[in-house]
């Protein structure tokens, strides 16, 4: 009996010390609620019939269409901060003539984007940029899927008030939250992997082929722009490299040129590239600027844009007092010539 009482006493004291310790740790590590970095309000041109594009221009020499989901639609950003409008800005530095129309619709899958491609081609687009996110093979609109399967879209979220037995214990909350996070994290990864197999993959592949055939019939060009998932670190621990490689193989087989932006973000802190790393892992303005720069260089290198739209003045650093440092052309060519990263070793090439 004494041994049993001693054991119970020891366990109780250990739990109390653990509870006190974790409460102290959480108090010292407590992060104050931060103000949102999203715009105070959103704007659009007064004389445009679109909320995410400039008014139609009359002196257009080259039309580009950006087709995609919420990674193309300016989610939680000003419309002119997304990669399509930044690309348009760069192409017009010589005086104008280019239009990059944003056809992005939040939550769309590639199946739904076939209709967007038809619209873009009927509007006269000569270059179609098909933006690919790693949930594009979905059959249904993402908002409905998120309601049906919240664990696939709300990974890492744990509400201790839903568990009355543990809501008063910080120690149990700490332990169970990490178990919950690990399970939902694994579920999130598994869900995306399963999209690139079976019926969803076949549907995705068929939709890409439809878009490709539509562009060829219209005498236009289709290119693919692959975005990584910003929920993960861009290093050797990034778990979706095999999906990227499967997309590469498929696009090569179909004869579709592509740019994979995973290399552009490799070894960059993914938390700095999202709208809100704790709540919203969509790419933010900084990520879209980086995407647009790499996209422009890739289009220029592959001669996919008219010579008159190629940037005439590029500098290696911001000019100061009229002193210009020439851009390192060899560095840019090396960057574009290779795959930017070696996924097997997690190192830049």
CA distance to 30, 39, 204, 224, 302, per residue, from 209 (Å): 50, 38, 9, 12, 22
Predicted confidence band at 344 (pLDDT cuts at 50, 70, 90)?
very low
CA distance 292 to 313: 17
pLDDT for residue 42: 95
Q: Supply the mean pLDDT for the chain.
A: 84
Under a CB-based contact definition with an 8 Å cutoff, are residues 49 and 101 in contact? Answer: no
pLDDT for residue 346: 41
pLDDT tens digits, 198-226: 999 999 999 999 999 999 999 999 999 99
Helical residues (DSSP H) of the chain, grouped into ranges = 2-28, 83-91, 110-122, 142-148, 170-195, 198-217, 241-254, 262-265, 285-301, 329-337
Phi, psi of 237 (to 5 degrees): -90, -5
Residues in the chain: 349
CA distance 345 to 237: 10
pLDDT for residue 30: 64
Percent of the chain at pLDDT above 90? 57
Predicted confidence band at 113 (pLDDT cuts at 50, 70, 90)?
very high
pLDDT for residue 185: 76
Predicted confidence band at 191 (pLDDT cuts at 50, 70, 90)?
confident
- For the ranges 52-66, 83-97, 212-226, 317-331, the lowest mean pLDDT is seen at 317-331
pLDDT tens digits, 180-189: 666 777 888 8
Nearest to 31 by CA among 307, 243, 276: 276
Res 102 pLDDT > 70:
yes
pLDDT for residue 4: 78
pLDDT for residue 21: 76
Mean pLDDT of the region 29-57: 85
Dihedral angle computed from the Cα positions of residues 299, 300, 301 and 306, in that order, rounded to the nearest 10 degrees? 100
More confident residue, 149 or 18: 18
The CB-side HSE value for 308 (13 A sphere, CA atoms) comes to 7
Predicted confidence band at 101 (pLDDT cuts at 50, 70, 90)?
very high
More confident residue, 158 or 346: 158
CA distance 253 to 152: 31
Predicted confidence band at 274 (pLDDT cuts at 50, 70, 90)?
very high
Under a CB-based contact definition with an 8 Å cutoff, are residues 128 and 222 in contact? Answer: yes
Using a 10 angstrom Cβ sphere, with 0-12 exposed, 13-18 middle and 19 or more buried, the burial of residue 162 is: exposed
Predicted confidence band at 257 (pLDDT cuts at 50, 70, 90)?
very high
Nearest to 247 by CA among 232, 262, 269: 262
E strand map for 54-118 = 62-67, 98-102
The CB-side HSE value for 277 (13 A sphere, CA atoms) comes to 9
Res 81 pLDDT > 50:
yes
| CB-based contacts of 41, cutoff 8 Å, min separation 6 | none
Return the bridge partners of 260, or none: 226
């Amino acid at each position: 009996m004494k041994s049993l009482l001693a054991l119970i006493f020891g366990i109780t004291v250990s739990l109390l010390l653990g509870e006190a310790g974790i409460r102290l740790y959480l108090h010292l590590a407590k992060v104050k609620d931060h103000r949102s970095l999203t715009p105070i309000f959103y704007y659009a041109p007064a004389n445009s019939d679109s909320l995410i594009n400039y008014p139609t221009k009359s002196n257009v020499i080259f039309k580009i269409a950006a087709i995609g989901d919420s990674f193309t639609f300016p989610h939680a950003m000003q419309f002119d901060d997304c990669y399509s409008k930044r690309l348009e800005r760069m192409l017009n530095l010589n005086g104008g003539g280019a239009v990059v129309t944003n056809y992005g619709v939040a939550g769309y899958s590639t199946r739904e984007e076939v209709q967007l491609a038809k619209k873009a081609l009927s509007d006269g687009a000569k270059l179609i940029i098909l933006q690919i996110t790693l949930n594009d093979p979905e059959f249904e609109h993402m908002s409905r899927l998120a309601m049906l399967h919240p664990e696939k879209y709300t990974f890492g979220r744990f509400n201790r008030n839903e568990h009355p037995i543990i809501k008063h214990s910080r120690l149990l909350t700490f332990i169970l939250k990490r178990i919950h996070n690990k399970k939902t994290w694994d579920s999130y990864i598994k869900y995306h992997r399963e999209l690139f197999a079976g019926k969803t993959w076949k549907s995705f592949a068929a939709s890409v082929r439809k878009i490709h055939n539509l562009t060829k019939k219209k005498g236009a060009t289709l290119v693919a722009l692959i975005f990584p998932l910003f929920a993960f670190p861009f290093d050797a621990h990034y778990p979706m490299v095999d999906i990227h490689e499967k997309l590469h193989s498929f696009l090569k087989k179909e004869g579709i040129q592509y740019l994979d932006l995973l290399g552009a973000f490799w070894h960059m802190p993914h938390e700095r590239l999202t709208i809100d790393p704790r709540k919203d892992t969509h790419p933010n303005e900084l990520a879209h600027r980086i995407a647009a720069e790499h996209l422009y260089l890739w289009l220029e290198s592959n001669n996919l844009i008219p010579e008159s739209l190629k940037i005439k003045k590029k500098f290696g650093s911001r000019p100061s007092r009229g002193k210009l440092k020439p851009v390192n052309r060899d560095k840019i060519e090396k960057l574009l010539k290779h795959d930017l990263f070696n996924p097997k070793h997690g190192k830049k090439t």
